[in-house]
């Protein structure tokens, strides 16, 4: 939802600046990812929206459910979110933070769509090839789409490399029609 992203952006930028300042990018990324998973659960969202639940209870629930260690900065951040009724946008905060972190570290997101599951060794070779092609570190996410028939489709930003059988058949079909 665009509204949630708008609400989440200042929080993500502020926590990113804080994490950079204290050299805790990885720790914050992990914590936000866990918190996002917790708050994505409908039962947790329902509980947080209950008017009988106070700020301290919300902070305690989120910390315990996400398995966070006692960290004053993170507790203060959760307190701020709970006080402003913004804990529900933690998934968006996590996503925005990850994007800021990746841009800061020069890492690009790559979506690899394959007709079949990819084993770890193949994924490592593919990741290395994609990094070489894009001259950048990449974080690879794999999806399986049997409609590709075979091969892979790689999307990095707005650039797509279609090495799937389905893509090649589409090109062949277009060539035959001309």
Phi–psi pair at 116, nearest 5 degrees: -135, 160
- With bands split at pLDDT 50, 70 and 90, how would you rate the model's confidence at 151? confident
* Topology adopted by domain 2-103: Peroxidase; domain 1 (1.10.520)
Q: Model confidence over 158-172: pLDDT tens digits?
A: 899 998 888 888 888
- Tokens describing residue 152: 């892979």
Q: Which CATH architecture has domain 107-177?
A: 3-Layer(aba) Sandwich (3.40)
Q: Model confidence over 7-23: pLDDT tens digits?
A: 999 999 999 999 999 99
**Report field, pTM of the whole predicted structure over 0.75:** no
Q: Where are the domains of the chain?
A: 2-103, 107-177
Q: Show the CA angle centred on residue 104, arms to residues 131 and 141, nearest 5°.
A: 45
Alpha helices in 40-163 (DSSP H): 42-48, 55-66, 72-83, 90-105, 120-134
Give the sign of the dihedral formed by CA 116, CA 117, CA 122, CA 128: positive
Give the sign of the dihedral formed by CA 4, CA 99, CA 91, CA 139: positive
> Taking a C-beta distance cutoff of 8 angstroms, is the pair 175, 144 a contact?
no
The pLDDT assigned to 129 comes to 93
Cα–Cα distance for residue pair 34/161, rounded to 1 Å: 32
């Amino acid at each position: 939802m665009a509204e949630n992203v708008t609400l989440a952006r200042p929080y993500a930028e502020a926590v990113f600046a804080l994490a950079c300042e204290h050299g805790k990018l990885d720790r914050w990324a992990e914590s936000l990812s866990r918190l996002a998973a917790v708050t994505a659960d409908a039962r947790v969202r329902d509980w947080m929206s209950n008017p009988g639940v106070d700020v301290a209870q919300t902070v305690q629930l989120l910390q315990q459910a996400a398995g966070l260690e006692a960290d004053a900065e993170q507790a203060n951040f959760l307190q701020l979110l709970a006080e402003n009724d913004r804990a529900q946008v933690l998934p968006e905060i996590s996503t925005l933070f990850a994007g800021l972190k990746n841009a800061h570290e020069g890492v690009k997101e790559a979506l690899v769509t394959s007709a079949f599951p990819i084993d770890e060794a193949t994924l490592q070779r593919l990741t290395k090839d994609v990094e070489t092609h894009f001259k950048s570190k990449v974080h690879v996410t794999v999806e399986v789409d049997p409609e590709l028939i075979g091969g892979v489709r790689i999307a990095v930003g707005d650039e797509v490399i279609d090495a799937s059988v389905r893509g090649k058949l589409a090109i062949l079909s277009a060539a035959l029609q001309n």
